Amino acid sequence: MHRVVVTGVGVVTPVGIGIQEFWKALKNGENGISRITKFDPSPFKSQIAGEVKGFEPSKRLDVKEIRRLDLFILYALYSTAEAIEDSGLDLESLDMDRVGVIYASGIGGENTWEEEHTKLLEKGPGKVSPFFIPALIINMAAGMIAMKFGFRGTNYGVVSACSSSGHAVGEAFRKVRSGEMDIIVAGGSEAPLGPLAVAGFCAARSLSTRNDEPEKASRPFDKGRDGFVMSEGSGTLILENLESARKRGATIYGEIVGYGASDDAFHITAPNETGEPQAMAMKRAMEDGNIKEEEVDYINAHGTSTILNDKTETKVIKQVFGDRAYEINISSSKSMTGHLLGATSAVESIICVLSLRDGIITPTTNYEILDEECDLNYTPNKAVKKDIKIALSNSFGFGGHNVTLAFKKYEESG
């Protein structure tokens, strides 16, 4: 069994493109949520989102890619190019048969679907693009990453709603740990901010309607929360076996040591309020990483800002840790980024390894009113400096999909 480390990261998010801008924004509690500009949101109950600002794909991608591919694939390619550059990998010297890609999305090419369906209705089937299907399907993010960089190892897409990229990172971890692959590019991407998707989530009554205060709309664990805020973007991690990383003198952000998954088998959108299945995912990740309860310093919560999720996740953490739950720093970065759906777990995994590296816990912003059912330490409103050895990241998705990933501060002797 191999130790698995994170040697490169890349992000495209509503609070920043590129790891430096992103990390600075989170440490400062900056917010990326605003009124939707991609279409006129006036008829919608929720008119706010976490849009990516200033995205210029031509900085890293060629014209053909930009013209033919859906935005979720462009985000994936861009953050992957960043992560590869960050990792210092020499692509010319790698055994490409032992470099894989496991990449996720919850929805895939939603904007392409809307655009091409409109063409079909207004102009007929002859006007539908020949690139429609390749731009739409979720696996094409992984496929295009492989084609762009030449990776010939394990390659597939993962779909499990808001847990999608958590499963992608977890499965990648297992394949590198087992020795099946030396390196895997893992992550998730989402570009769901079209009228149809927003209308669907509005109809499901999932979204915040705090339209007059977009930057205060995502308020995980706060008593005034009224739903999550949809966002877009991507996060990519380079997972590498420690021997390979050491051999090439790579910079190591942190180590991934555990992966646990379960399903509620309960409801299509609501969490199981007993918390038992979600607690099982957390316990499995800790068992997988040989982690004791007293060793966990930080939990990056799923923390969506919905009534049911936040009180259930609080209950879950208490089930797993008992009275010690009150001693652990917890935070939800969705208070600043919004909810990136299938990309969120990858982005939050990156937050975990940066927190381990720098000894900083990013805050849960917009935390103003105590909810008696959410009474843990959510690191309210300001970042905290703290030496962190073990961090967990939770993701819970529609369909009852639960994932917990466990990260450890890298130590040579570990």
Query: CA 54 to CA 400: how far, in whole Å?
Result: 35
Residue among 371, 410, 72 at smallest CA distance from 256: 410
Which residue in the list 162, 202, 352, 374 is annotated as catalytic? Answer: 162
Q: How many CA atoms lie within 13 A of 190 on its CB side?
A: 35
Question: For residues 266 and 312, what is the distance between their CA atoms, to the nearest angstrom?
Answer: 14
Taking a C-beta distance cutoff of 8 angstroms, is the pair 103, 157 a contact? yes
Q: Would you call 117 a catalytic residue per the annotation?
A: no
Per DSSP, the three-state class of 337 is helix
Catalytic, out of 117, 202, 267, 339: 339
The residues that bridge with 101 in the sheet, in sequence order, are: 155, 185
Do 316 and 278 form a contact (C-beta atoms < 8 A)?
yes
Q: Do strands 233-241 and 155-158 pair parallel, antiparallel, or not at all (unpaired)?
A: unpaired
Tokens of 403: 């994932």
State the amino acid at position 259 in one-letter form: Y
Does residue 169 contact residue 258 with C-beta atoms inside 8 Å? no
Q: How far apart are CA 219 and CA 205, in angstroms?
A: 16
How many CA within 13 A on the CB side of residue 395?
33
167 is a catalytic site residue: no
Helix (H) or strand (E) holding 111: helix 110-123
Residues 6+ apart with CB under 8 A from 103: 76, 141, 142, 145, 157, 158, 165, 168, 185, 186, 187, 188, 189, 236
Could you tell me how far CA 143 lies from the centroid of its own chain? Answer: 19
Cite the DSSP H helix spans in 137-289: 140-149, 164-178, 195-203, 242-247, 276-288
Give the active site residue among 2, 202, 267, 302: 302
The Cα–Cα gap between 11 and 27 comes to 15
Q: Is 2 in the active site? A: no
Cα(138)–Cα(189) distance, rounded to whole angstroms? Answer: 9
In this structure, are residues 294 and 321 in contact, taking their beta carbons and an 8 Å threshold?
A: no
Dihedral sign for Cα atoms in the order 113, 116, 122, 124 = negative
Q: Which of 72, 79, 133, 77 lies closest to 107 in space, CA to CA? A: 72
The residues assigned a catalytic role are 162, 302, 339
